[in-house]
Amino acid sequence: MKHLPTFLCGTAYAAAVLIASTAIGSAQAPPPTASAQVTPDGGMNFYTIFKGKRIRSLAISPQGSLIAGGVSKGAAAPLTNDPPTIEPAEYDKAGAGGGRNWIHDFYFGRYVPGEGQPRLHTRGLIMWGRGDSPDIQMGRTGPDNARTMYGPPEDTVPRTSVGKMIFTAWGEGQFQGDIAGIYARNDTVPTATRNPGVCISAPPAPRRPTMPGGI
């Protein structure tokens, strides 16, 4: 039996080794895993595995805002069913403007003084109760124009807006004004026995009457 030329034997051997090592490497490649990552800015990203794909499910901005799911950010937002994400520090840089004009799956925004109190942004809310009805309660304490974001509550002065539901719509690249709203106002400093007030359904802004008490 004649032997194959040496260079052919060497080539066949090298090819066999390459194929075997590739197969072993593919078999040993680790699957994607859930993990947590600290960002260079001091925030955190948390990743989970969904249908074999690693996705960012939760993030915490350096300022302490919570982000889950995706966000539609401005005119450049992609047309996709996969939740688009951005670095958590971008939420802190955008502040209240980003919270108002980006469309979030879930975003609990903490803002700096002067931008308003923390707010929760989400695309839907379902409230169900068992044995009792779910409640939506809104209230407000003093002082107005407080110098700090945190401190002891004070009496709510008379004729103050104590809660509101605002309806708005999109135009010219942002949410514009208040189309309509429902407001509530206290008439006096409330007590355990006396708590008078009024609820006002406000028409669209061009027809809205002047309302006292900061409404």
Domain-embedded: residue 17: no
Among 88, 122, 156, the domain boundary falls at 122
Q: What would the pLDDT profile of 150-164 be if each residue is shown by its tens digit?
A: 899 999 999 999 999
pTM above 0.75, yes or no: no
DSSP track, 158-169:
SS-EEEEEEEEE
Q: Contacts from 177-182 at CB under 8 Å and sequence distance 24+? A: 177/205, 178/202, 178/204, 178/205, 179/204, 179/205, 180/204
Q: What would the pLDDT profile of 137-152 be if each residue is shown by its tens digit?
A: 999 999 988 888 889 9
Asked whether residue 114 falls in the same domain as residue 148, the answer is no
**Which H or E run includes 8?**
helix 6-28
Domain-embedded: residue 201: yes
Asked whether residue 79 falls in the same domain as residue 96, the answer is yes
Residue 213 pLDDT: 46
Contact 44, 89 (CB under 8 A): no
Q: 184: domain range?
A: 130-215
